[in-house]
Amino acid sequence: MNNVLVISGHPNLSESNTNQVILNTLETELAGVEIRALDSLYPDYNIDIEAEQTALLNADIVVLQFPFYWYSVPALLKKWIDDVFSYGFAYGSEGNKLQNKDFILSLTIGGPEEAYSPLGYNHFPIAQLLQPLEQTAYLAGMKFHKPVYSHGMVYIPGVYNELEEVQAKAKAHGIQLKDKIASLTTIDESYVESFVRKWFVAFDKMPEDSQQFTQHLATDVTWSMPEGDFKGHHGFVEWYNIALKQFKPNCDHQIQAISVQQHDKSFIVDLTVNLTAETYPESDFNGQPINIVAKETWHMSISPQGRLLIDNYQVALAE
């Protein structure tokens, strides 16, 4: 299981040229990442400590994304740390709630690389300036990873840099961060099982937008259902549109049995699922509620980019 939580510490993301690009890149490249933008959640700097601690408890990998301000984090992110990394939570005899979580600092820096050296005007290397945050992670028992940062990220029209230039660097930064997160993510049987459970939670809402499902499908996926066989993303969308006309939102897939077997970089999932749902009057079920048990087999594999994808999905009604 690897839940990724990104805390955006930018005090005004709507005016950001680079942090916003990094966050957008992460959101498109990394399925299921939770991004908490502190400036929109807490414009008054009044942090909801319980909500933030809950988000942290659910996370395996924690990323702090911020612009470097006065050789440190912006005040909003500093307040978040002060409030949320509290005694009994992050430190103290029982403060072990963050232990063993992966911790990545990801920052944009205005000054050029050469300025952060003994003879440069900023004198100290970035790694040294980040040591208070590194020690914060150690005290909380977190795994501190080499930070991801980019220099020359300030854009002042006609004075510093070009917009396209800093945005291209931000995009590359986002990809580098995504690769770093992916390298910490182990896709094993328990990851696959939790993926399957999250799939059903998402599916039961019957969202109009099928993209949240297609992003987890191989381009040549085979979708074998009692209604027939469907091929590729187009095929899935065709089938999903049929399902949308049958089942009302908030159906319920209860997993009665699940087994996941790993073979190198692929997985076979065998499932027994009990589906209860309300149906539409004009559907094949004439508006009658359904309660069926299905046997499912999913074939999944890890793509060269390190993503878990469904290659083959078979459903048959149980006898």
Ligand X SMILES: Cc1cc2nc3c(=O)[nH]c(=O)nc-3n(C[C@H](O)[C@H](O)[C@H](O)COP(=O)(O)O)c2cc1C
Residue with tokens 């995504």: 178
Least distance in angstroms from the C-beta of 115 to ligand X: 7
**Distance (Å) of CA 72 to CA 93, 129, 138, 225:** 28, 7, 17, 55
Complex with ligand X: residue 161 or 212, whichever CB lies closer: 161
Window 95 to 134, contacts with ligand X (CB under 6 A): 108-111
Window of 36-44, 61-69, 136-144, 233-241 that interacts with ligand X by CB under 6 A: 61-69
> For ligand X, what does the binding mask look like between residues 2 and 31, x meaning CB under 6 A?
--------x-----xxxx------------
Complex with ligand X: residue 141 or 147, whichever CB lies closer: 147
Complex with ligand X: residue 141 or 152, whichever CB lies closer: 152
Least distance in angstroms from the C-beta of 179 to ligand X: 21
Complex with ligand X: residue 126 or 217, whichever CB lies closer: 126
**Distance (Å) of CA 41 to CA 16, 51, 113, 143, 162:** 16, 11, 33, 27, 30
Least distance in angstroms from the C-beta of 154 to ligand X: 4
> For ligand X, what does the binding mask look like between residues 153 and 192, x meaning CB under 6 A?
xx--------------------------------------
If one asks whether residue 71 binds ligand X (CB under 6 A), the answer comes out as yes
Return the HEC string of the chain.
CCCEEEEECCCCHHHCCCHHHHHHHHHHHCCCCEEEEHHHHCCCCCCCHHHHHHHHHCCCEEEEEEECECCECCHHHHHHHHHHCCECCCECCCCCCCCCCEEEEEEECCCCHHHCCCCCCCCCCHHHHCHHHHHHHHHCCCEECCCEEECCCCCECCCECCHHHHHHHHHHHHHHHHHHHHHHCCCCHHHHHHHHHHHHHHHHCCCCCCHHHHCCEEEEEEEEECCEEEEHHHHHHHHHHHHHHHECCCCEEEEEEEEEEEECCEEEEEEEEEEEECECCCCCCCCCCEEEEEEEEEEEEECCCCCEEEEEEEEEECC
HSE of 115 in the Cβ direction (CA atoms, 13 Å)?
10
Least distance in angstroms from the C-beta of 231 to ligand X: 43
Least distance in angstroms from the C-beta of 16 to ligand X: 3
State which of residues 68, 89, 247, 267 lies at the interface with ligand X (CB under 6 A).
Answer: 68
Complex with ligand X: residue 173 or 253, whichever CB lies closer: 173
Least distance in angstroms from the C-beta of 76 to ligand X: 11
Complex with ligand X: residue 37 or 290, whichever CB lies closer: 37
Complex with ligand X: residue 72 or 86, whichever CB lies closer: 72
State which of residues 52, 67, 85, 195 lies at the interface with ligand X (CB under 6 A).
Answer: 67
Complex with ligand X: residue 68 or 195, whichever CB lies closer: 68
Least distance in angstroms from the C-beta of 252 to ligand X: 42
Q: What residue ranges bind ligand X (CB under 6 A)?
A: 10, 16-19, 67-71, 108-111, 153-154
